Amino acid sequence: MPQAWDTTTAARLRPDSPELEYVTNRWQLGDPVAFTASTLSEIFFGLCKATLPTLSERPNHQRLNSSAVDAQRGWLKDQIAAGLIDILPFEHRAADIAGALRARIPTPPPAPKRSKSRSKAEGRVAWMMDLQTSATVFVYGYDLISADAHHPLIAKELSALAPSAPPLLIEAPPKF
């Protein structure tokens, strides 16, 4: 079944990684892994944020070497341009579904422990991105590979929104 990776797995893709080997094997078999445009945006946001000096002043903000960050961004863009990963756009059907999901579950469920590196506002934005990702993957006919506890909840809401639809399957990331 075609797989789309969410940020928890997609962000691990880097040169000489087992994730890269896995993605390459799937590409060679004619079944490339996909990321949603929202997932890609999350990855680029994280990379860009890590190098901003103004944000680095904040507590718990880990500022990374900007050359290493630029190299990773460039490398990832190259893999996408080469067709190793398919990017699923957030288009009108996904927007329709994401809006309906957001109306049903406007905020993320309370987490037992909130990440120290993420503000409440950022958590809300990340939630919107999760909704967009699930909606996109759903409407493109993929399964979602995710270690995020939110996605099974969103998939359940999708089944409530479209009861006769083949459900969005959430699979745990492959073991590398």
Closest separation in Å from C-beta 149 to another protein: 23
Binding another protein by CB under 8 A: which of 15, 18, 141, 174? 141
The closest of 128, 72, 127 to 95, measured between CA atoms, is: 128
Residues 19, 75 contacting (CB under 8 angstroms): no
Window contacting another protein (CB under 8 A); options: 17-25, 51-59, 72-80, 160-168: 160-168
The verdict on 123 binding another protein (CB under 8 A) reads: no
Binding another protein by CB under 8 A: which of 10, 33, 131, 139? 139
The verdict on 164 binding another protein (CB under 8 A) reads: yes
Binding another protein by CB under 8 A: which of 31, 70, 78, 122? 31
**Cβ distance to another protein smaller for residue 30 or 112:** 30
d(CA 133, CA 36): 6
Query: What residue spans of 11-149 are helical by DSSP H?
Result: 18-28, 37-49, 53-56, 66-81, 92-104, 120-140
Window contacting another protein (CB under 8 A); options: 19-27, 37-45, 48-56, 138-146: 138-146
**Cβ distance to another protein smaller for residue 3 or 79:** 3
The verdict on 89 binding another protein (CB under 8 A) reads: no
Helix (H, G, I), strand (E, B) or coil at 128: helix
Measured over the CA atoms of residue 119, residue 55, residue 14 and residue 42, the dihedral's sign is positive
d(CA 75, CA 17): 13
